[in-house]
Structure 1
Amino acid sequence: MSNDNGTSAIQRRGLMLVLSSPSGAGKTTLSRQLLDNDNQIRLSVSCTTRQKRPGERDGVDYRFVDPPTFRGMIERREFLEYAEVFGNYYGTPRGPVDEILGAGMDVLFDIDWQGTQQLRDKGRADLVTVFILPPSTRDLEKRLLTRAQDSKDTVALRMMKAADEMSHWAEYDYVVVNSDIGTSLTSLKAILTAERLKRERQVGLSVFVKGLREGR
């Protein structure tokens, strides 16, 4: 007998994909390209108390809030995770993430190792973590200086912090050395495809297989 149901009975549970890296390793560029190439994933827009950089848009790149507003959100437990970085606060609002996952879509997080640890500590079963490494320390410093978004003092601070950030690579599920954006993007797509196909994420798979065995 033919199978009239096809694969329509199989639904997929959304996952949370975390990308972390030291500043300048290409994480933001990779995030944007992944979003442009995949209509099943949405970016989790973090709140931050830092000032807007040239070209950034409120509500798109970040939700820019003042410190009192951020502290109020902490008190009301509105964040899945939050951290202080270089004197500014960053946090992931819970509501929008739950809404995206509830619709069966994936959520992309552009957060550091501290935020990743907080997400993991909350026991999220659908967390997939990727750490992006630069090809060399010299290349990392060159990228930070070239983008001209920070002062030289801030770049120096970021380079000092990079060594500590990179020491957490082993806490992640996957590691990608970003020598080439195109190659790294291909790797990220492969990771995402494999994680989406995991048996436990395919809701209704057992019913579908039962139908196959029964000749439906």
Structure 2
Amino acid sequence: MNKKTTPGKVIVIVAPSGAGKTTIAQRLLKEYPKIEFSVSATTRKPRKDEKDGEDYYFLSDEEFDRRIKNGEFLEWEHYSGNRYGTLQSEVDKLVESGYFPLLDVEVKGALNVQRLYNSGAISIFIEPPSLEELKNRLSKRGSETESSLQQRLKRAEMEIKYADRFDYSVVNDDLEEAYTEVKNIIEPFITD
């Protein structure tokens, strides 16, 4: 007799670049075996150590267009000259297997996922303590030009305006405290 798995629910974490979203997401993935990262698709070229199907699905512009036309994306967006999107088939496959897909998506995409999955999704917005602190964090990375830094900060200002549209908002002033707060939010969700 096969044991039927209980469908999982979708966890959406949203934040401006530099707010700590990736660090928090990676820790959740390590701590909770039933949380799985949903692999996104992109039109950008793979970086040195990235693998197709693990880090991203690397698609041509034509393939990305075909999948948009076929309605295969839960959400997609232009970002820094490339397109990124979440394939519904990837999320549904994880949910049906009893996993809790973790989506790391942009604000508008997250709102769409929240709308589509309704009570089957939980959304958490990670906020920086201030735009000045966000600027400091992005500058410390050493990977930003002055122009790209200003673009990210302008985008962050826009994204922060949407924070109240999500189920929860967590200010990442201290990483340990923010991570504990996120854990306290998701634990009842993944154990009910």
Structure 1 Cα separation of the partners of residues 126 and 89 of structure 2: 27
TM-aligned CA distance change 1:150 to 1:66, over 3 Å: farther
Cα offsets for 1:187-206 (capped at 9, x unmatched): 111111122344xxxxxxxx
TM-aligned CA distance change 1:82 to 1:126, over 3 Å: same
TM-aligned CA distance change 1:23 to 1:52, over 3 Å: farther
Q: Which amino acid aligns with 2:43?
A: T
Structure 2 Cα separation of the partners of residues 191 and 69 of structure 1: 37
Structure 2 Cα separation of the partners of residues 54 and 182 of structure 1: 31
Q: How far apart are 1:57 and its partner, in Å?
A: 4.2
Q: Which amino acid aligns with 1:146?
A: K
Q: How far apart are 1:74 and its partner, in Å?
A: 0.6
Which residue matches 2:101? 107
Which residue matches 2:21? 27
Query: What SS does the aligned partner of 1:60 have?
Result: coil
Which runs of 5 or more structure 2 residues have no equivalent in the other structure? Answer: none
Which residue matches 1:69? 63
1:122 matched to 2:116:
yes
Instruction: Give TM-score, length-normalised by structure 2.
Output: 0.89
TM-aligned CA distance change 1:159 to 1:51, over 3 Å: farther
Structure 2 Cα separation of the partners of residues 10 and 101 of structure 1: 13
Checking the alignment, whether the CA contact within 8 Å between 1:23 and 1:158 is kept in structure 2 is yes
Which residue matches 1:137? 131
TM-aligned CA distance change 1:103 to 1:124, over 3 Å: same
TM-aligned CA distance change 1:182 to 1:11, over 3 Å: same
Range moving further from structure 2, 73-82 or 102-111: 73-82
Which residue matches 1:41? 35
Which residue matches 2:161? 167
Query: What SS does the aligned partner of 2:16 have?
Result: coil
TM-aligned CA distance change 1:33 to 1:197, over 3 Å: closer
CA RMSD of aligned residues (A): 2.1
Checking the alignment, whether the CA contact within 8 Å between 1:12 and 1:196 is kept in structure 2 is no
Instruction: Specify which of 146, 149, 155 is matched with residue 140 of structure 2.
Output: 146
TM-aligned CA distance change 1:111 to 1:120, over 3 Å: same
- Number of equivalences: 190
Which runs of 5 or more structure 1 residues have no equivalent in the other structure? Answer: 1-8, 199-216
1:190 matched to 2:181:
no
Query: What SS does the aligned partner of 2:36 have?
Result: strand
Instruction: Give TM-score, length-normalised by structure 1.
Output: 0.80
Structure 2 Cα separation of the partners of residues 10 and 174 of structure 1: 31
TM-aligned CA distance change 1:132 to 1:155, over 3 Å: same
Q: Please give the residue correspondences for 1:84-103 in structure 2 after superposition, counting only pairs within 5 Å.
A: 84-103=78-97
CA radius of gyration, larger in: 1
Which residue matches 1:201? none
Query: What SS does the aligned partner of 1:83 have?
Result: strand
Percent identity between matched residues is 34
Cα offsets for 1:154-180 (capped at 9, x unmatched): 121111111100000010011111112
